[in-house]
Amino acid sequence: MMNISKSSNPVFKEQVFSKKYSTSSEAMTVNGTINKTALMLLLVIAGALFTWNKFFEAIAINPESGTAAVLPWLAVGGIGGIVAALVTIFRPQISGVSAPIYAMFEGLLLGGLSAIFESMYTGIVMRAVALTLAVFFAMLFLYRSGIIKVTKKFMMGVFAATAGVALVYLVSFIGGFFGMEFSFLHGNSNFSIGFSLVVVAIAALNLVLDFSFIEKASNAGAPKYMEWYGAFGLMVTLIWLYLEILRLLSKLASRN
């Protein structure tokens, strides 16, 4: 039986991973999860290139038409991504189908958003991608080397911090309907930049929890389809991390 506490990543629910699996030749492996994560990343890139090209093709004709050209695709990507994510979370057994679909939808969303930011701050997307990859490999090194140990206190601390960020975003979203402004979320003040740095750090720490859950599920002999589920959970965190880094860089760029 796996001894795992709750993760701050809603994908890695205790009900999914905290069980005993029978070992077989069709068991989940870390390498298999890595391969499926790489495939999902390629699908995200493919979807992103589609909306990215749509945006820049539109502004080449009319500089003001870029956002309108990708807005429908942003809606499709956002709604489709949520639906695919919920299906994957509640039916891990079909994650081999739903997880790649999620990646494609998220690619459509990320490509459009990235193009909008790139049109405002040239070069910001490549910097965000580079920083996201750098953070990913740094956290992987810290986890594999044992510098960061995933203890129960560590997991609960990251869970509390992530829940706090989610609550702030939820309050901001609801407050927007009543005319409330949360300038520290969107402005470029020192406090706003500091808040973004904290959120990026929390997202990065979630990667460590994801690594731990994938490794433990593998060691417990989880079924083969859990490779897709593990890759899906890791992509959820990576996409969040990228968006937060993109937001942080845009705040810094708007100061210039």
User: How would residue 169 be classed by pLDDT, with cut points 50, 70 and 90?
Assistant: confident
> Does residue 17 surpass a pLDDT of 70?
no
Q: Give the pLDDT score at 44.
A: 98
> Does residue 48 surpass a pLDDT of 50?
yes
- pTM of the entire predicted model: 0.89
User: How would residue 19 be classed by pLDDT, with cut points 50, 70 and 90?
Assistant: low
The per-residue pLDDT for range 193-214, each reduced to its tens digit, is 999 999 999 999 999 999 999 9
Q: Please compute the mean of the pLDDT values over residues 11-28 and round it to a whole number.
A: 59
Q: Give the pLDDT score at 8.
A: 53
Cβ atoms 18, 155 nearer than 8 A:
no
> Does residue 116 surpass a pLDDT of 80?
yes
Grouping H, G, I as helix, E, B as strand and the rest as coil, residue 27 is strand
The per-residue pLDDT for range 70-115, each reduced to its tens digit, is 999 999 999 999 999 999 999 999 999 999 999 999 999 999 999 9
The per-residue pLDDT for range 222-232, each reduced to its tens digit, is 999 999 999 99
Q: Give the pLDDT score at 3.
A: 42
Cβ atoms 91, 101 nearer than 8 A:
no
Q: Give the pLDDT score at 11.
A: 64
Would you tell me how many other CB atoms lie within 10 Å of the CB of residue 14? Answer: 13
In the chain, which ranges are continuous DSSP H helix? 14-17, 30-61, 66-90, 95-120, 124-144, 152-176, 183-186, 190-219, 226-253
Q: Which of 162, 181, 164, 163 is nearest to 172 (CA)?
A: 181
Q: Give the pLDDT score at 25.
A: 56
Q: Give the pLDDT score at 106.
A: 98
User: How would residue 6 be classed by pLDDT, with cut points 50, 70 and 90?
Assistant: very low
Gap between the Cα atoms of 81 and 98, Å rounded = 10
3-state secondary structure 57-123: HHHHHCCCCHHHHHHHHHHHHHHHHHHHHHHHHHCHHHHHHHHHHHHHHHHHHHHHHHHHHHHHCCC
Residue with structure tokens 């992530």?
A: 162
